[in-house]
Structure 1
Amino acid sequence: MIDFVITWVDGEDPSWVRDLEYFKRVEGSGDSSSARYRDIGVLKYLLRSIEKNASWVNKVYLVTEGHIPHWLDPACRNLVCVRHSDIFTELAALPVFNSNAIEMNLSKIVGLSEKFVLFNDDCLLVNPVKESDFFNGAFPCDFFIDNPFKALAIKLLGLAEADSTWFSCIRRNHARLNSVYEKRLSELFLTGKYLDRSYGFWGNFCNFLSLFFGRFLFIEHFHHPQPYLKSTWELALRKFSEDVTRTTFQKFRGGEDVTHYLFRYVQLASGQFYPKVPPKCNTFNLASLRDAEFCVAHIQKYTHVCINDTPDLPESSFFAARSLIVDCLDSLFPEKSRFEK
């Protein structure tokens, strides 16, 4: 059985907005950009795309602060709505506005299967996918490419030192991984998954060069639905319990957070994966109305996509961009799913 887990926030709920503004004043730090909470309108179509292109899924868990979209049918037998308070053992950490903190606690979802796929609410399955796209036997399908060129570029450009929460979190993930795993002694290396033809020439070239370094440098990833084993996730929780606790109590994203990608790194380093590059995917970063137009024009080329609302997209363009995206998705997925009323 394979479950899907989706995290979502209703950034227009008045009570939630009041809490957000209060804690922004109290905390006075962290990444609280409106782009973290604006709803570009993809969730309904993500569920429709799951119905159309991944009907084999066991259950879909929708994790929210308690928000239920007005069009959603919470009584659907394949859907489980999960509140943050259901999975946070430390209720003092709530309310929380930090997606990293929420993701630290997902393995506590009651009934979650050993095999699950994590979706952000801006992801979409544009074309059909099979179970074997995510899992091969007992292992999640994933790829390992340790890119020394990106690691060097980040260092030279100072991206992890600059005002970039994402790069700072990625650097933190790598630092914590290297504190526990020796690359050349890891199961990744010993099981022969360090080099694999599925990574292609470039991926294997990067991995070969990175062998000359004793640590993990910059593990590549795509912003796409990420398959996990719950047992490996819980292993990472035990190994990095202090980091997990600190991140759980961060109201807003910050550069000292760890992210769920650290759990993926543990999955890779421990060899608990089947080497396979994901199906054709792409991330459309929306920084302007032109980016939304480009997304609409090219979205059908891919198996799955991420439609990423960025802080660079001004409020003056956001609603026009959302309208373009929603109209496109409504034409691609016009039929209601079983998840809707």
Structure 2
Amino acid sequence: MTAVSDHAVGRIPDAATHFARERPAPRSAADTGPTTFSAEHGDVYVEPGLTPLAAREANRSALSALLDAVGVPHFAVRGTADHGTVIAVAEEDRERVLSVVFRGLSQFPGHLSVVDPDAPRPAKPVSSRDPRAWRDAPGARILQVSWYRTDPGRHLLLGHEYGCAIEFWQRHGTHLVAPRANRATWAVAAEGPNVLGAGRLFSRFVSDWTPAPLAPALATRPEFLVNCADDIAFPVDAVYTWVDGNDPVWQERKAQAKGEVYHAESASDARFISRDELRYSVRSLHLFAPWIRNVYIVTDDQVPDWLCEGLPGLRIATHREIFRDPADLPVFNSHAIESQLHRIEGLAEHFLYFNDDMFIGRPVSPHAFFTPTGTARYFPSRNRIPQGPVAPTDTPVDAACKNNRALLKERFGRVITQPMEHIPYALRRSAMEEAERDFPEAWARTSASRFRAMTDLSPTSSLALYYAALTGRAQPGSMPFTYLQLAVPDLAERLQRLLDSRDQDTFCLNDAFSTPEDIEAQQELLDGFLNSYFPTPSPYER
């Protein structure tokens, strides 16, 4: 997955329609073949609403339609790569398979590679227009086929890794034997029936809650319908806290609220600015974490103006709904709000908590945040919590970490030394509930703190994670990530590097110190960056 250079591209029609032998390809203005192609990438097709799963499924359905058109039996395989798909055919059908694939790629040129399971490095894909692409195909054990796709703005390029592999399975007695290892079995009954297998069996980027068009049930063999030890089948939700600091009604509530602001950062307007990050963070889930079951946005009776309410999979949860004690409201302290997240009605046991400035940067699986047995992963920072008790010079973050440390030492006899990185927090609802029961006074004091205070806990970004770890429900992990403070002089260069590389699982664009003079210039940079990184709207946008 990368950005697309500025070149002409075409549109690829729906493969199931246009590769079917019985129907000629319609030639509408929005449904035409490529007119030109890139010397760098070969043919690239425009696909509105592009997502990695959509590209993956389009490539698979195209090949499946080709095989159906000539009556070649085939079935889906539980391959070891999550980005692409795998189709198995019998070796005796090789000639028909190669013939129909050649015809399909002649009509809509794509890319081809021969996969050698024993090679130290995979072969590079070659344009199907190039005769060299077909040189080794007649004897190949595995062929990978793809059609490169880009969004209408040409910001994304989803290439060969999202293609579909055709494996030629050898007949040995009563069984067909695979040419390489997969996640389940080396052999299936040669005359066995095809059955439907859930989409999540064929990629860890898919769950039972992924929309069916992106990950439909596939015809496979019974031997693949097993629950493997590394499968994650439990639901994972996402939770955001969000505020529109420009809302005059909210500003009036904040002005009237009583509470002592003890630290300059606590009152910084930058903490309450909405730069539309939430829209793009939700897009990042749609693009790169489609296994999320439900998204909950926790607000102070606010709704983003871009959000289409009432659709399955996303719900606004107000402070009034989740706070145990209504007397604590209104509240303008993220620590207080986070102390109540486990009270969201319907929230899954396993959930990810995002600040609205956190983003998924490329396709990730739930395994990045949870083990198959449900253990959460937390991501300790290289920084250290300052020694000693809370001091007036402490930042709100350090003060809360010190308070967490004191409680956990008293309860477990262990000392925490590290805060957490700005990576979405993988949380266990039960651990938060138990921590609240174990530390009722400190928890209630944090909930009642309208602005950040010296007595706060940091429930989600530290305490609940360590509590889960000390009770056997969390373990340390690592992932590629970037933390970028917006108030830096070389912001444009840093954003461009992040956009060009797209090699981080997650990133955070944090802002606690920007001045009003900074914000206008930053916003122009952010608008361009976020639209380029996440060009595909989520289903929840108006």
TM-score over 0.5 (shorter chain): yes
In the alignment, structure 1 residue 334 sits paired with structure 2 residue 535: yes
- How far apart, in 1, do the equivalents of 2:433 and 2:537 lie? 36
Q: Report how many aligned residue pairs link the two structures.
A: 301
* Greater per-residue helix proportion: 1
* Alignment-derived partner of residue 259 in structure 2: 27
- Contact 2:369–2:378 at 8 Å: present in 1 too? no
- How far apart, in 1, do the equivalents of 2:271 and 2:509 lie? 13
Which of 243, 251, 258 is the aligned partner of 2:457?
Answer: 258
- How far apart, in 2, do the equivalents of 1:60 and 1:22 lie? 31
Partner SS for 1:150: coil
Deviation digits for residues 43-73 of structure 1, max 9, x if unmatched? 1111111001011110000110111111101
What's the CA shift for 1:91? Answer: 0.8
Partner SS for 1:29: coil
- How far apart, in 2, do the equivalents of 1:6 and 1:292 lie? 27
Which residue identity is paired with 2:271? R
Which of 266, 286, 291 is the aligned partner of 2:491?
Answer: 291
- How far apart, in 1, do the equivalents of 2:237 and 2:400 lie? 27
- Contact 2:379–2:423 at 8 Å: present in 1 too? no
**TM-score, length basis structure 1:** 0.83
Which residue identity is paired with 1:14? P
In the alignment, structure 1 residue 228 sits paired with structure 2 residue 460: no
Which of 357, 377, 384 is the aligned partner of 1:150?
Answer: 384
Partner SS for 2:375: strand
Which residue identity is paired with 1:115? H
Q: Write the mapping of 1:1-341 to structure 2, written as runs, cut at 5 A.
A: 1-23=235-257, 26-30=258-262, 31-143=266-378, 150-151=384-385, 154-155=386-387, 161-183=392-414, 216-260=415-459, 261-277=462-478, 279-291=479-491, 293-299=493-499, 300-311=502-513, 313-341=514-542
- Contact 1:41–1:322 at 8 Å: present in 2 too? no
Partner SS for 1:135: coil
- Contact 2:285–2:360 at 8 Å: present in 1 too? yes
Which structure has the greater CA radius of gyration?
Answer: 2
What's the CA shift for 1:258? Answer: 0.3
What's the CA shift for 1:160? Answer: 5.0
Deviation digits for residues 238-296 of structure 1, max 9, x if unmatched? 1111111001111101121001221111011112124432x211211122353354234
- Contact 2:378–2:426 at 8 Å: present in 1 too? no
- Contact 1:296–1:325 at 8 Å: present in 2 too? no
Which residue identity is paired with 1:283? Y
- Runs of 4 or more above 3 Å deviation: 143-147, 158-161
- How far apart, in 2, do the equivalents of 1:141 and 1:109 lie? 19
- Contact 1:144–1:219 at 8 Å: present in 2 too? no
Partner SS for 2:267: coil
* Structure 1 unmatched runs, 5+: 184-215
* Alignment-derived partner of residue 213 in structure 1: none
* Alignment-derived partner of residue 170 in structure 2: none
- How far apart, in 2, do the equivalents of 1:220 and 1:167 lie? 8
Give the RMSD, CA atoms, in angstroms: 2.1
- Contact 1:40–1:122 at 8 Å: present in 2 too? no
Which residue identity is paired with 1:22? Q
Partner SS for 2:521: helix
Partner SS for 2:384: helix
- Contact 1:286–1:307 at 8 Å: present in 2 too? yes
